[in-house]
Chains A and B, each alone.
Chain A
């Protein structure tokens, strides 16, 4: 009962039986996807879901706490590299990638704790934080691009410069996909398999529901309090810097999770994940869907990814069109398309429901 209250609290759009039956329907449609989609499309959808984690990470940080990170892909990339480096080194020892998964989540969070502590405790302005995160991402890219020299190895992992992470010697194992379990009871989830698809879908669903509970908890209220008026929140005795730092780390951990899944999905990670384009894409997903709601950001990510895939078949116009969509949305529906549609829909409904529905729309 308490969980349900948290799931449908006022910080998230979508309450009532209509929304949850829609949610169930989407889950069923997705669960049956292998019945009607080709293997190739299933592989692509696995990747869209991975983007979903990344969108949720920025939505939590920017939408709920008001901290815009233009370098969200940095944590994605760190997670991806951390997973790869640990997996390459420990695969022969453990024959699973559980520790690598842990590293892919913890390492970006620790790195975020480091730069976040500097930025938030110095009370840097929001725009500075936005630019600095982008700079961090670009510095990672520049660094990794110049690691083609064979001396850049960490145990069995060779950073490999432009070509991406690879085994240090032919005797070392290849970059593995997810291997879950311990000892002899392990299961390998190949990025091209249906199992991987279901695993990522299930995990995304769990993370999404978990975040819904989080943003409707006291902590979520505080996040929004920091976004709306951080000075006022501090006068109530809250250490705003700690709240900001904690959500920054949590967001980095989520982005890292996306990154490690990406590495496992393609058994490949390369410096381009730190480039401007992936960073800007995350912002586009979240801004176009609607930054102030988890569902909106998630839908934004998956729909935009799908649209850009369609566009890719038309030639090189994909990124140009995405840029245009971003500009148009910022001009005409700055709250985001999904949130705009939701508030339109709620204004069509009878007045009794409206009071409840409008609480979050603004």
Chain B
């Protein structure tokens, strides 16, 4: 019985860590993986989502709708940012990094000016689950479930819809896409908006578990970025899943074996190691293996 509890605790932690990473990274995956822009303000878009959720919730909006509103708010902010600033920095990786860092500072400091350093809270729903002697919050599992659903949704959107095909065509070759009658400027804005909206939803969902302040987003951005680059750009979905599985796995093991801090350090160490061995990310490696086996049989 005790081992079962320990095992479940371990599994629970892994799912929790993995869901956390996926949610933090899913929006950035689209923006970095498809547009090649590193959005250092991603965490601040999540912060906007968290504030939106908290304010709407306290105004009487039910939590699920408040979270969707977070997506809308962050998505709109994202589109405005893209049109005003970020569109000038495509294909300039380091400059886009610097300018979005400036935006992130403006957003977090702007919220500090507007709402003060005070901390907001939204109660965590669903109560908890008892396994053996220990209890586990159900919401964390819901979070992980939703994160998977978001990944599946993103995949379906890009694979099956007209908008998705247009977006992929644009990222592949913008000039050609333009010649085919695709409004590439709109595609860029929408893609950036979608990435931001997913960040906002993630922020909204985290709002129910974490305390909300203007600096809510600061630590998410590097974490999300690491998750995305470890996954690589060859296949957004397999990249994200494999990256999250390995990073969350390492984090959970070291977290249990040593300490929370070492868990973090080990995760970044693992990320560095993966990047050293597979500089283009895990998904690139998987795609190449697939390709090789196809060319061998074919």
Contacts and interface: CB of A to CB of B under 8 A. Distances in A.
Is there a contact between chains A and B in the complex with CB atoms less than 8 Å apart?
Answer: yes
Contact of A70 (B85, B101, B110): B101
B59 interface: no
A334 B102 CA distance: 13
Contacts of B65: none
A320 B113 CA distance: 9
Interface string B95-137: 1011101111110011011000000000000000000000000
Contact of A320 (B85, B94, B105, B276): B105
B292 interface: no
B26 to A, nearest CB: 18
Given A139-B264, A320-B106, A124 B275 contact: yes
Interface string B259-298: 0010011001000100110010000000000000000000
Contact of A146 (B102, B261, B275): B261
B113 A127 contact: no
Interface stretch (B159-167, B184-192, B218-226, B241-249): B218-226
A114 B279 CA distance: 19
A127 B97 contact: yes
Interface residues of A, number: 39
B38 interface: yes
Contact of B113 (A70, A125, A128, A317): A317
Contact of B276 (A118, A127, A131, A277): A118
Contacts of A323: 102-106, 109
A131 B225 contact: yes
Interface in A114-149: 118, 122-128, 130-132, 134-135, 138-139, 142-143, 146
Contact of A327 (B97, B99, B229): B99
A275 to B, nearest CB: 9
Interface in A305-362: 316-317, 319-320, 322-324, 326-327, 330-331, 334
B248 to A, nearest CB: 17
A280 B105 contact: yes
A127 B113 CA distance: 31
A122 B279 contact: yes
Given A139-B268, A326-B105, A130 B97 contact: yes
Nearest to B259: A146
A276 B222 CA distance: 11
A283 interface: yes
Interface SS of chain B: helix
B219 to A, nearest CB: 7
Interface residues on B, range: 20 to 34
Nearest to A136: B268
Contacts of B276: 118, 122, 124
Nearest to B106: A323
B261 A326 contact: no
B61 interface: no
B105 A125 contact: no
B88 interface: yes
Given A276-B218, A324-B106, A122 B95 contact: no
Contact of A283 (B38, B101, B103, B265): B101
Interface string B208-231: 000000000011001001100100
Given A123-B279, A146-B261, A320 B88 contact: no
Interface SS of chain A: helix
Contact of B93 (A127, A287, A320, A331): A127
B106 A327 contact: yes
A327 B105 CA distance: 10
A68 interface: yes
Given A127-B94, A131-B226, A122 B105 contact: no
- Interface centre among B93, B98, B109, B113, by most A CB within 10 Å? B98
B274 to A, nearest CB: 11
A146 B258 CA distance: 14
B29 to A, nearest CB: 15
Contacts of A283: 98, 101
Contacts of A324: 102, 106
A322 B110 CA distance: 12
A284 interface: yes
B102 A330 contact: yes
B261 A287 contact: no
B102 A326 contact: yes
Given A320-B113, A327-B103, A122 B275 contact: yes
Interface string A277-301: 1001001100100000000000000
Interface of A: 66, 68, 70, 118, 122-128, 130-132, 134-135, 138-139, 142-143, 146, 276-277, 280, 283-284, 287, 316-317, 319-320, 322-324, 326-327, 330-331, 334
Given A127-B97, A280-B102, A326-B105, 9 more contacts: A122-B275, A123-B279, A131-B222, A316-B112, A320-B109, A320-B112, A327-B102, A330-B95, A330-B99
List the 8 closest pairs (A to B, CB-CB), nearest first: A323-B105, A326-B102, A320-B109, A323-B106, A327-B102, A330-B99, A122-B276, A319-B109
24 contacts: A66-B94, A70-B97, A118-B272, A125-B279, A126-B94, A127-B93, A128-B275, A130-B94, A131-B38, A131-B222, A135-B222, A142-B261, A283-B98, A317-B113, A323-B106, A324-B102, A324-B106, A326-B102, A327-B99, A327-B103, A327-B106, A330-B95, A330-B99, A330-B102
